[in-house]
Amino acid sequence: MKKSTVAISVIVALGAVWTGGAWYTGQKAQTEYERQIQYVNEKVNKSLEFYGVEIKIEPVKFERGLFTSEYAYNMKITTDNAETDLPISGKLYHGPIPLNTFTPAIFSTDYELVNNEQTKALFDAAQGKKPLTGKFTFSYTEQISGDLDAPLIVYNNNNVTTTFENLKLVYDTDKNGIGKTEATIGAFKAISSAAGEKRAADVEVTNIKVKSDLTATKWEYLTVGKQEIAVENVKLTNKTDVAKTFELKNMSVTSETDAKDNFFNVMSKVNVADVLGNNQSFGTLDVDMQFNHLEADTMNAFVVESLNENERELEALGLKLLQNQPHFILKPIFTNSAGKLDGNLNIELNQFDVNNVNSVLSLFKQFEFGADFNKAALKQFIISAAQVFENMDNATAEQFAEKQLKNLEMSKHTWVNSDDKLTTALKLVDSKLILNNTQEISEQEIQMALFMLMMGLGSLGQ
């Protein structure tokens, strides 16, 4: 047989294999396409109900060809006050080697928002750019990798105009969306056009970066891994009476979650380079938080019932979480040009039977609360707060701060007063709650304090 004949035969055979593979993966791609629609309509939509949002994917067409398929669907987004339709169309390239990437995969696809009467406002706002485009690949290991690009999205709802600028998303996840994601948003704005008391606070956030690296666990709704958020500026403007602004500059949030012996541990850090009110700096804020020894089965069930909005079951599950010795640690530090305001809270519960609790203190394995305030820093903080929130001039605010500081210095029962500091410490020692290393707090005083706390919390809801 001639070599040319052999070569042609090989090419024909490979072509037949590719064609057959493309037809097979076209069938598989359609099945996965339909599965993803079902996943969004059921699980994703269920998780969004908590926020008052409903998303439903309505298939419009799927026309399967030999090497490619054309598809279209309508994404219906419903909130309490509005309903929005986003028509999407795309081309799906069949494996085993999709023609748009030439990389082995079950399929690869490109999609975009359709320009029609429904979306005309979005296209007009995008000023010649496509408001929404994306692509992704579904691999033979059932990984989904792709990206999404939205230069400008403007959305009006209930007298609030919401704007996303330069939204970009890159992801590499499993078919349930768990894995690595990176998102950037140039700016996010929610501006209210309502008047008077109905006017919501305006929100402006710039240069948002979100990075997530998560791994699935045997619990359906629980993941482990790390998440990072960095924001250049967060600005809230309240215009109900006298305009007030509140800003967080160069904020970062990191969170790590791990699982061990059927218990979850969550460690988070918050850092804000500058906290401002009406352009007046309060200082920097650093917060360390830990939520440890959270029983995983109960946590997963808690998420399920949260989605179902089952309040009675949520109360029972919340109590069960508390009965499995959770451990909470909080360490906030506020720093201004005069010094630091330092706090700490450490609470670890014992296992307990809710029907057999002898005393409040028997609930705690560890309890520790402390505050270490530099007087000059505290005075400066009170002055800033009085000027921003009470509209005091500088002289009045300084007098007010000196009076408040003097009152604290005279509260010898609670505070330890030194030349430059005010400190307090409350710690559980040998089943006794000790204040400032000297004074035992009685069970009756604890119960009274808890009663007053509950009364105060109750009044907040009125």
DSSP string for 56-114? EEEEEEEEE-SSEEEEEEEEEEE-SS-EEEEEEEEEEEESSS-TTT-S--SEEEEEEE-
Q: Could you tell me if residue 102 is inside a domain?
A: yes
Q: Could you tell me if residue 407 is inside a domain?
A: no
Tell me how far CA of residue 202 lies from CA of 97, 137, 270, in angstroms: 49, 38, 23
Cis peptide before 131 (omega within 30 of 0): no
- The pLDDT mean for the chain works out to 85
Q: How far apart are CA 35 and CA 443, in angstroms?
A: 58
Q: Can you tell me the mean pLDDT for 41-60? A: 75
Q: Are 28 and 105 a contacting pair, CB within 8 Å?
A: no
Residue 420: helix, strand or coil by DSSP? coil
Q: Could you tell me if residue 76 is inside a domain?
A: yes
Banded pLDDT at 152 (limits 50, 70, 90): confident
Looking at residue 306, its pLDDT comes to 81
- Residue 159: is its pLDDT beyond 90? no
Q: Could you tell me if residue 86 is inside a domain?
A: yes
Q: Which residues contact 109 (CB under 8 A, 6 or more apart)?
A: 90, 91, 92, 93, 135, 136, 137
Banded pLDDT at 271 (limits 50, 70, 90): very high
Banded pLDDT at 127 (limits 50, 70, 90): confident
Looking at residue 158, its pLDDT comes to 73
Q: How far apart are CA 211 and CA 182, in angstroms?
A: 5
Q: Could you tell me if residue 59 is inside a domain?
A: yes
- Residue 146: is its pLDDT beyond 70? yes
Looking at residue 345, its pLDDT comes to 94
- Residue 144: is its pLDDT beyond 60? yes
Q: Helices then strands (H, E): number in the chain? A: 8, 20
Q: Could you tell me if residue 127 is inside a domain?
A: yes
Q: Can you tell me the mean pLDDT for 271-275? A: 97
- Of 11 and 216, the structure prediction assigns the larger pLDDT to 216
Q: Work out how many domains the chain is built from and give that number.
A: 1
- Of 176 and 43, the structure prediction assigns the larger pLDDT to 176
Looking at residue 454, its pLDDT comes to 63
Residue 224: helix, strand or coil by DSSP? strand
- Residue 48: is its pLDDT beyond 90? no
Looking at residue 352, its pLDDT comes to 85
Q: How far apart are CA 214 and CA 448, in angstroms?
A: 44
Residue bearing tokens 């028997």: 362
Q: Could you tell me if residue 394 is inside a domain?
A: no
Q: How far apart are CA 184 and CA 435, in angstroms?
A: 48
Tell me how far CA of residue 323 lies from CA of 47, 99, 361, 397, in angstroms: 27, 57, 14, 46
Q: Which domain holds residue 57?
A: 1-143+168-182
Q: How far apart are CA 313 and CA 317, in angstroms?
A: 6
Query: Integer distance in angstroms from the first to the last C-alpha of the chain?
Result: 93
User: Percent of the chain beyond pLDDT 70?
Assistant: 87
Q: Could you tell me if residue 336 is inside a domain?
A: no
Q: Can you tell me the mean pLDDT for 239-260? A: 89
- Residue 427: is its pLDDT beyond 80? yes
Looking at residue 455, its pLDDT comes to 64
Q: Are 76 and 58 a contacting pair, CB within 8 Å?
A: yes
